[in-house]
A and B are shown apart, each in its own frame.
Chain A
Amino acid sequence: MSVVVGILARALTMSTPLLYGSLSEVVAERSGMMVTAIEGIFLIGAWGGFVGTYLWGSALYGILLAMGLGVVVAAVYAFVTVTMRQHQVVTGTALNILVAGLCTYFQRVLFGIPTSPLKIERLPQLAIPLLSDIPILGEVFFNQNILTYIMYAIIPLIYFVLFRTSTGLAIRSTGENPVASDVAGISVNFVRYMTVLFSGLMGGVAGAFYSIGFLGMFTAGIIGGRGWIAFAICFLGNWHPFGAVVGTLVFGLAESISIYMQSLGGAGFLPNEFFIALPYILTIVLTVSRRNFKVPAKLGVPYVKEGG
């Protein structure tokens, strides 16, 4: 029983960063912007989280630095794709390569070549009084770190903003019909800049989760495609915040089972590597089986003002 509870609690932990990433991707894609730099934003967030925490001794500074660096990468991405109207997939690929180089390089500039890996204190588990005493549910939902608790608040908040406010309407109409938005006096490019910068902010936190909340250190391979998984969840969740929640829980569970199985060294005829590949296989299976996608009409299409 305690094994199962442990796997479920770990599943929620592992789905936290994916949710930060995929929710912000939902917001950006609803405005017509695929943030293909998400893998790089996660990575620089993980690095910033580590550096801030290591240098200034507090996870708060780490998270702030991660958010700041995430926004910087997102701003470059937005400038190239929105202002210069260049291809989103291509720009993302370039930025991901550049960021990977920069993180490793500046790690070296700041810390040289240390003889043993540099460690930071991980975010503590905060057991919420009373609630954490509820059998099973308490252990799973209310004995997590602060970023998971913040996530509980972010989910309804994003849903509310996206579907119940004029800001949300502006975002959604910009992705569906930018010409109409423009006529209605909404600056299409401004909206797209804002959603991409928001993605940078959230993606930075997501990345920081891996260094501060999970590993307690930074390695070049710390993200290892998780940014892309968050990107995929946005598609699979049909560009809806609740779809993204379901998607991240499924992936969190897959990753948690994968970690547990790896700790056992594989299960019977299924080798360790199968469980390492499990979240990626799951993405492929879900991409294939998912039907009736409601793709935002102008996703990935730069906006050119008529006569402009």
Chain B
Amino acid sequence: MGKRIGASTRDLIITNFVAIVAGLVLSGLLLLLLDINPIQVFSSALTTLFTDRYMAAEVFLKATPFIFTALAFAFTYKANLFNIGAQGQFYLGAVAAVSVSLLLDGKIPTPILLVVVLASTLVAGGLMGAGIGFLKARYNANEFLTSMMSTYVALAFMNYLLRTVLKETKGEYPQTDALSEAAWIPRIVPGTRLHLGFVIAVVTAILIWVFLYKTPMGFRIRAIGSNARAVELAGINSRKIFVIAFLISGALAGAAGFTEVNGVQRMLIQDFNPDIGSAGIGIAILANANPIGIIFASILFGAISVIGTMMGRMPGINVPPSIVSIIQGSVMLFVITAYYVRAIIGIRRDKKRLKREEA
């Protein structure tokens, strides 16, 4: 038995590695269309990544919100529920973060302020998530549709606030005033932008793993995902679980608002991180919805995003920023293919084993 688990883990690592390389190769081929030498730009970007401390730290900086949105998707996915609305929950978290920060900064000490801000983002995202879970539990409303649509509503709401009550004092652009230093998340590596939020994200991922795999409530959530009918028969109230799972999922996405507003942007602007919700879904899939795997997959997506930015800034070479979505999308697609390939490999191995046992 132990030997077979070893083989499947090896398959997982090898096939996913091949999938990632395939995604990079495909994107590289597209660069040829713009007369750009992909090997040259990729190797130059990777060299910078491994030699320049600032850029290396950027990878973890970018990975931070991804960890949260990927955990948000994975958490409901474990219960066979779909929270496609992490983007919207992130927006509400960001609105909460900037509002509370602007309201309280300078009035209470930084550590307490940051805890209050983080709590407010959890509440904002969590309430929005719980609302979706409630509609599912009470009215059997398809959570895929409601969560998907809620993102567009949250976006309109955020834009409304940015145009009215949250608008900067200068009154020029639809953006908030900058936060004062008292509301910044402390940086952890000198000379870089990497802040404590990354550590919080990693710890959160570990806590979510413990919650899902080591607690009775986590067991119930996963049980719903594997067999909802059996769970009902066992007397577990699946409706309550819907609300709880979505509450936690929404809170996780909301927390990304905290790390991005107080850790990176230090204000709220229009068109703020519009893609972290869908990237989160991709990362969760890449990691097979495993919270620990999500940490590493988020770092990979962070690296893709930093490499894309670097390639766009190389002097004389104009790599369009859209290459990032192409790499992300194709890596995802190849990773999905890898699931299929692994299933085939697994079946072949079993057949061989059976034959050997028969002989």
Q: Which residues of A contact B (CB under 8 A)?
A: 76, 80, 84-87, 89-91, 93-102, 104-105, 108-109, 224-225, 228, 231-232, 235, 271-274, 276-277, 280-281, 283-284, 287-289
Contacts and interface: CB of A to CB of B under 8 A. Distances in A.
B322 interface: yes
Contacts of A87: 336
Contact of B278 (A97, A271, A272, A274): A97
A96 B163 CA distance: 30
B273 to A, nearest CB: 15
A98 B145 contact: no
B339 interface: yes
B340 interface: yes
B323 A97 contact: no
Contacts of B275: 97
Interface in B2-46: 30, 33-34
Interface in B132-151: 135, 139, 141-142, 144-146, 148-150
Contact of A94 (B135, B320, B329): B329
A271 B325 contact: no
A80 B156 contact: no
Contact of A273 (B160, B328, B340): B160
B171 to A, nearest CB: 17
B333 A104 contact: no
Contact of A283 (B82, B145, B164): B145
Determine which residue in A94, A108, A109, A287 has the highest number of CB atoms from chain B within 10 A of its CB, and name it.
A94
Contacts of A231: 145
A227 to B, nearest CB: 11
12 contacts: A80-B336, A86-B339, A86-B340, A87-B336, A93-B84, A93-B285, A98-B330, A100-B325, A101-B329, A108-B320, A283-B146, A284-B145
Contacts of B282: 93-94, 97
Contacts of A235: 142, 145
Contacts of A76: 333
B281 interface: yes
Contacts of B34: 108-109
B64 interface: no
A99 B184 CA distance: 37
A101 B323 contact: yes
Contact of B156 (A86, A89, A232, A274): A274
Nearest to B156: A277
B326 interface: yes
A94 B153 contact: no
B152 interface: yes
